[in-house]
């Protein structure tokens, strides 16, 4: 697959190496030696893939990635990094980059990675054409009533004197018994807020995915997965989630497009209301299997 590729690299020798390996592949190649020049090209030109050095002289490559990712019809981004910055490259992949290359890399690795990135960009465009535009979202309001049931007679007279159980209720729905994490004196038989947050992310992603599959003609017959959330507790007792990883296993009919089924997870993640409402990264590692 041929495409328009923007090489964002301040090293003239490495930019030349990339050009020499890609020039014979039928691509249209554009070059920028710094972040400002790259953004100017992106405003004026349509590109399918960006080879992006994270360490640019005038700005961080992650800033360019964020701008590209949040724009319409974003190109596939391949991050180029030094061995000492692999962790940052992995972070970039978790925040929208397609893949990363570690310097020095072979010409074969470069060509293969760019080919795969262009294939992804092409599938995303095809997916956008196949999916009917969704109606503009309205404002929705959700309510929940919380009733503490943990008063054992002395209220909160002591940290160990009261229970953490409570009822989560909404009109016309069965109550949920809530509690705290067992590490904080909760009841392991009931749901805690951290689990409910992970479950909300999982449920929202699943519902969007099933919707998009129905729109795209991918017939899902089974959907199961385990979601894992990680929370970091600070020394002062406060804490926050560092990330959540969704691991869906989806079963589709044999005649359906498995590649498209995987791509729809990316679209579902982009649309998920809950994922769009949290500040920590939500990763998705899908597996698609064919029904017997």
The CA distance from 52 to 268, in Å, is 26
CATH class for the region spanning 194-290: alpha beta
Statement: residue 92 has pLDDT above 60? yes
CA atoms within 13 A on the CB side of 103: 18
Q: Which fold has domain 4-130?
A: Rossmann fold (3.40.50)
pLDDT band at 84 (very low <50, low <70, confident <90, very high): confident
Pick the most confident of 63-72, 104-113, 136-145. 104-113
Structure tokens of 69?
């990712």
The CA distance from 264 to 13, in Å, is 38
The whole-number pLDDT of residue 136 equals 66
Q: 191 pairs with which residues across the strands?
A: 178
* Contact indicator for 22, 29 with CB cutoff of 8 Å: yes
The CA distance from 21 to 180, in Å, is 57
Statement: residue 138 has pLDDT above 90? no
The domain spans of the chain are: 4-130, 139-191, 194-290
The CA distance from 135 to 29, in Å, is 37
Dihedral angle over CA of 146, 137, 124, 92, nearest 10: -50
Q: Which residues of 92-102 are buried (b: 16+ CB within 10 A; e: fewer)?
A: bbeebbbbbbe
The whole-number pLDDT of residue 126 equals 75
Residues 6+ apart with CB under 8 A from 116: 98, 99
Q: What is the mean pLDDT of residues 128-133?
A: 65
- Is the model's pTM score more than 0.85? no
Q: 50 pairs with which residues across the strands?
A: 6, 77
- Give the rounded percent of residues in the chain with a pLDDT score beyond 90: 64
pLDDT tens by residue, 40-73: 999 888 899 999 998 899 988 898 998 888 877 7
The whole-number pLDDT of residue 132 equals 56
Structure tokens of 49?
């893939």
């Amino acid at each position: 697959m041929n495409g328009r590729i923007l090489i964002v690299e301040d090293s003239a020798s490495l930019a030349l190496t990339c050009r020499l390996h890609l020039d014979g592949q039928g691509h249209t190649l554009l070059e920028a030696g710094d972040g400002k020049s790259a953004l100017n090209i992106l405003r004026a030109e349509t590109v399918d893939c960006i080879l992006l050095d994270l360490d640019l002289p005038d700005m961080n490559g992650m800033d360019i990635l964020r701008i590209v990712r949040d724009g319409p019809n974003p190109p596939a981004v391949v991050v180029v990094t030094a061995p000492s910055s692999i962790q940052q490259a992995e972070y970039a992949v978790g925040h929208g980059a397609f893949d990363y290359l570690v310097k020095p890399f072979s010409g074969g690795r470069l060509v293969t990675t760019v080919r795969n990135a262009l294939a992804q960009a092409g599938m995303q465009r095809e997916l956008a054409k196949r999916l009917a535009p969704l109606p503009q979202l309205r404002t929705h309001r959700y309510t929940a009533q919380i009733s503490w049931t943990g008063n054992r007679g002395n209220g909160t007279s002591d940290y160990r004197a009261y229970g953490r159980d409570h009822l989560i209720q909404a009109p016309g729905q069965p109550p949920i018994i809530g509690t705290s994490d067992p590490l904080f004196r909760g009841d392991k038989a009931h749901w805690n807020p951290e689990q409910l947050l992970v479950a909300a992310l999982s449920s929202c992603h699943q519902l969007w995915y099933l919707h998009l599959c129905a729109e795209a003609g991918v017939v899902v017959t089974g959907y199961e997965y385990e979601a894992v959330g990680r929370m970091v507790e600070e020394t002062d007792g406060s804490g926050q989630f560092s990330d959540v990883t969704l691991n869906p296993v989806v079963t589709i009919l044999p005649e359906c497009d498995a590649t498209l089924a995987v791509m729809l997870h990316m679209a579902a993640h982009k649309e998920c209301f809950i994922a769009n409402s949290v500040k920590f990264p939500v990763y998705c590692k899908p597996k698609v299997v064919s029904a017997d």
